[in-house]
Structure 1
């Protein structure tokens, strides 16, 4: 229960109880979620632009060294993030497409219902949403996901990835950081509704 604070209205000079004022931290984003959707669309656009640029300028499988630990290497990934299940035989295209659409739908609703002021979580969800749709677009249109970022240390290579994978990873880190945030009972009530 919130403490009752008495304020004076600047319009009518009548005392107003804080119990009558809405707790903005417990009001969901609703239509104010649009900046997070714009961010997700920007992630999709940047991801698709960089993939098109990589496809147009890089030769498949031939690394282009940028720094001693960083190459641009065009790869076609038929699996999930970081080439997981890429050798599974083709069924994974439909499986990962279906999962991505379900997750994306859940994220759209989650961002909409998220209480105002939960900016780190909203940012994280928007990054994951944009990354998921960026990769599912490739999977639906091409049958594979275009990867082109390759990092390594000496002869140990991390699986090639793209900006959508990076956005999903950054969003996941943001969600972990947000999980340490202290929540009010009002926030929890809005999330449950």
Structure 2
């Protein structure tokens, strides 16, 4: 759980740096396809539910906490592989990073803006990278051999 706390702290630290150095709505062009921005997203991914009226703040926070607790229990009981362990840790750290923003300011701080010409990917943050990367790790882990938390195969002796 220490690694999840480290990811959480890293996410919150970067968000603090952005919020203290960029005014809300400001943009710094870094390359022709990448900006640093300071925006708030009251919704979920891709600003889904952003205009839902406020209930989403509590619902998304509760969902993030419940998922994190379930994953923490699964980690405590032992998971199949180190890859799955890393994925759960990333999901917990990322989910709680965004939950902290929702509880503290009512929206998630986003600051990474990828774009090409006039097309912009919705702004995102480090917690989102942890979540998406961890989901990819879980998919990858699902193709591996079934193993217990000590890394030994669960199958019978050959």
Distance change >3 Å, CA 86–CA 183, structure 1 → 2: same
Q: Deviations over 1:3-56 (max 9, x none)?
A: xxxxxxxxxxxxxxxxxxxxxxxxxxxxxxxxxx11111110000000000001
Distance change >3 Å, CA 62–CA 184, structure 1 → 2: closer
Q: Are 1:127 and 2:105 matched, yes or no?
A: no
Give the TM-score normalised by structure 1: 0.74
Gaps of 5+ in 1: 1-36, 189-193
Correspondence list, 1:10-29, <5 A = none
How far apart in 2 are the matches of 1:45 and 1:184? 31
CA shift, 1:187, in A, is 4.0
* One of 156, 172, 177 as aligned partner of 2:135: 172
How far apart in 2 are the matches of 1:63 and 1:108? 37
| Residue in structure 2 matched with residue 98 of structure 1 by the alignment | 62
CA contact (8 A) 1:115 1:187 kept: no
Q: C-alpha root-mean-square deviation of aligned residues, in Å?
A: 1.6
Correspondence list, 1:53-132, <5 A = 53-115=17-79, 118-132=81-95
Does the residue aligned with 2:52 lie in a helix, a strand or coil? coil
Give the TM-score normalised by structure 2: 0.90
| Residue in structure 1 matched with residue 3 of structure 2 by the alignment | 39
Large movers: runs of 4+ above 3 Å: 184-188
CA shift, 1:156, in A, is 1.0
Rg (Cα) greater in structure: 1
How far apart in 1 are the matches of 2:95 and 2:46? 13
